[in-house]
Structure 1
Amino acid sequence: MSFDDVLQRGEDELLSTRPRHSLSWILASQFTASTVTAFSKLILTAFYNVELKGLNHLDNAFQYAKDNNRAILTIANHMSTCDDPMLFACLPWRYFFNYDDIRWGLAASNVCFTNKISSAFFSLGRILPCERFGRGPFQPSIDACIRLLSPDNSLNLQKFTLPPPILRNKPSWVHIFPEGFVCQLKSPHENSMRYFRWGTARLVLEPTIAPVVVPIFADGFEKIRPEEIDMKTDYLTPSNIGSTITVNIGKAIDDNVIKSFRDEWKNLCNKYPNKDNNDDLSDELKFGSEARDLRSRVCDYLREQVAQLRLQNGFKEEDPRFKDVNFWKRYTLSRGNSDPDIQFVGLNWAIKEYQRHVKLYNDKGEVIGEGKSERPSNL
């Protein structure tokens, strides 16, 4: 079940902030995406061996989505700062010829949207700013993705003025890395994942029409960009030349499973309406135990689908601790002291003090300042 105010916020607070509806923006955006993809393909072809598995699953999902007026949501593990765009550079060029087919994605606002130049560049690359460290799943970037995943002709025409702030001829493709942070762990836990964050569940539950959800697991990008490199001197130098990059695309998740989750959500929406505004989420739907439990179960299920692809790539079963949200919170708060047998390559980026330009929020989600960085000077 969708809420008009959520969709409208996605338009007003993010999608309308750039001239995305203009032809000049579309041409510049497609040029940016194509140029970055071409450069990434050149790097992959020249220095690495790429193994792409399950491309037919993505082709089938795109065709099924097109035939049924549905958007595409892809989810993948996050191993490296080069996951995007390298992951998409592994796909055939046909995924970039049509502007409507180019994926939308999220990136950390404190990393990719810190000045006018980088903000314009990533915006042209169809990336939206996601704010971490306290903002939570109810923020403009998630609302915007819900709007992107909702076909234009499924909107309540009495509430929205068409055309929308983005021009498109069919529903969009949104890709996210649900862990929220790069996760590079040392042996024997390499290529394991963090828990999936709850904003992911919103993208399944809240679009006007259920998206087609496709899981992906990739490994090898952590070899291109290992976390222990010196960011000042080595960032643009390819590492571990000759390594194999494996991208494993799974089958689209069963529609019946998605429908079951969305039916639960609809029942909760009917049970806990916003008595002051029927067009928006109530506090119970945001913070209530039943809604939180549903979002947690959706994320657990999606994570398991990606984890199955990890096993197909030849890795052993993950340590069961990695599935537990409470483990990661405890581990991060203690800076690893709670479980010293688990060590990161480089830094655990979920520690707020290691990152620059981090905004601080109060309980109402209002910005109250900017955090200080304690990270090593060579990063």
Structure 2
Amino acid sequence: MGKGRTLEWAARASHLYGIPRRLIITSVGAFAKAVVTLFNTTTVHNGDNRLHLVRSRPPGVPLLTVSNHMSTLDDPLMWGFKDFPITDPKLARWLHTFPEGKVSQEDGPIRRLKWGTASLITRAPVTPIVLPIFHHGFHQVMPEDFLFGRRPPFPLINKHIKIIVGEPIEFDLPGLRKIALLESHNESEPRLGWPRIARHGLDEVAQRYLYSNISEKIQTVLESLRQYGNSISKQRD
């Protein structure tokens, strides 16, 4: 088989003076805002926290947002609420992950998280600000089993969407690394041949300790936001 082509131009923001990039970002942003603010009702709690971190975080400090995953349209719809700079390619630069690893439309506790997000936090040259977000309602806008086991061709309307932004999660990475290095001396721990993280000297056992602890903390925070959201709903009822 021949080698696939590498579309290097697609990675350049300056391609065709940035016009295609701006058109796509603007179009997707307009679609998200229409679905979230015009065709459905959206309530955002503590949204200023997210706006501030996107617009005004310290130079050089990355932002990592994490959330539950309830539909295939979570991203970009969850960024379409009023006044969020989704159409500004300069302001809206950060990384968002769904650490659950897949869509779950069960209205239940946050599931055990995959370790990919924890790996990103551990390996980042500069520790990112980690902002947790819980949302509810996108599973009604784009249900997985709408008609004959399929999703609807278009987002549904007249649904209520709830977005709760938490406080940044703090991690004592230097302290966790010290404990992780001590754990690496435990010969009873299984080893599967993971490559070592050279910058911190973390072997496989140390990495598993770090990823597990970081993931559990994120899961706990997301679950607390979920429970807070449930309490808000009960008060309204």
Give the structure-1-normalised TM-score. Answer: 0.50
List aligned pairs for 1:81-230, cutoff 5 A: 81-97=72-88, 99-103=89-93, 173-185=94-106, 190-230=107-147
Distance across 2 between alignment mates of 1:93 and 1:59: 7
| Structure 1 partner of 2:63 | 72
- Counterpart code for 1:80: S
Distance across 2 between alignment mates of 1:85 and 1:231: 26
Cα-to-partner distance string for 1:171-219 (whole Å, 9 max, x where unaligned): xx0001111100112xxxx143221111110121111111111000000
Matched, 1:36 2:34: no
| Structure 1 partner of 2:221 | 305
Cα-to-partner distance string for 1:61-87 (whole Å, 9 max, x where unaligned): 23552x342010000000111111111
Out of 147, 164, 169, the residue aligned to residue 248 of structure 1 is 164
SS in 1 for 2:11: coil
| Structure 1 partner of 2:49 | 57
Any conservation in 2 of the 1:73–1:214 contact (CA below 8 Å)?
yes
Distance change (3 Å), C-alpha of 1:64 and 1:231: farther
Q: What number of residue pairs does the alignment pair up?
A: 214
Distance change (3 Å), C-alpha of 1:204 and 1:262: farther
* Offset at residue 251 of structure 1 (A): 1.4
Question: How large is the RMSD of aligned CA atoms in angstroms?
Answer: 3.1
Cα-to-partner distance string for 1:280-337 (whole Å, 9 max, x where unaligned): 736x946x23321221110000111111111121169xxxxxxxxxxxxxxxxxxxxx
Gap regions ≥5 residues in structure 2: 1-5, 185-194, 233-237
Any conservation in 1 of the 2:145–2:151 contact (CA below 8 Å)?
no
Identical pairs, percent: 24
Cα-to-partner distance string for 1:139-167 (whole Å, 9 max, x where unaligned): xxxxxxxxxxxxxxxxxxxxxxxxxxxxx
Any conservation in 2 of the 1:52–1:248 contact (CA below 8 Å)?
yes
* Offset at residue 49 of structure 1 (A): 0.5
* Offset at residue 45 of structure 1 (A): 2.9
Distance change (3 Å), C-alpha of 1:179 and 1:69: same
Gap regions ≥5 residues in structure 1: 1-14, 104-172, 273-278, 317-379
Cα-to-partner distance string for 1:228-276 (whole Å, 9 max, x where unaligned): 124897522333x32210111111123xxx2x1244337757998xxxx
Any conservation in 2 of the 1:205–1:262 contact (CA below 8 Å)?
no
Distance change (3 Å), C-alpha of 1:304 and 1:233: closer
| Structure 1 partner of 2:192 | none
Cα-to-partner distance string for 1:14-68 (whole Å, 9 max, x where unaligned): x995542351264322321220121122122332111111112113323552x34
List aligned pairs for 1:265-280, cutoff 5 A: 265=177
| Structure 2 partner of 1:47 | 39
Distance change (3 Å), C-alpha of 1:95 and 1:263: farther
Distance change (3 Å), C-alpha of 1:280 and 1:28: farther
Distance across 1 between alignment mates of 2:202 and 2:34: 46
Distance change (3 Å), C-alpha of 1:245 and 1:295: same
Distance across 2 between alignment mates of 1:84 and 1:291: 29
* Offset at residue 100 of structure 1 (A): 3.0
Distance across 2 between alignment mates of 1:22 and 1:244: 36
Distance across 2 between alignment mates of 1:280 and 1:289: 10
Any conservation in 2 of the 1:87–1:247 contact (CA below 8 Å)?
yes
Any conservation in 1 of the 2:70–2:139 contact (CA below 8 Å)?
yes
Any conservation in 2 of the 1:48–1:244 contact (CA below 8 Å)?
yes
- Counterpart code for 2:135: A
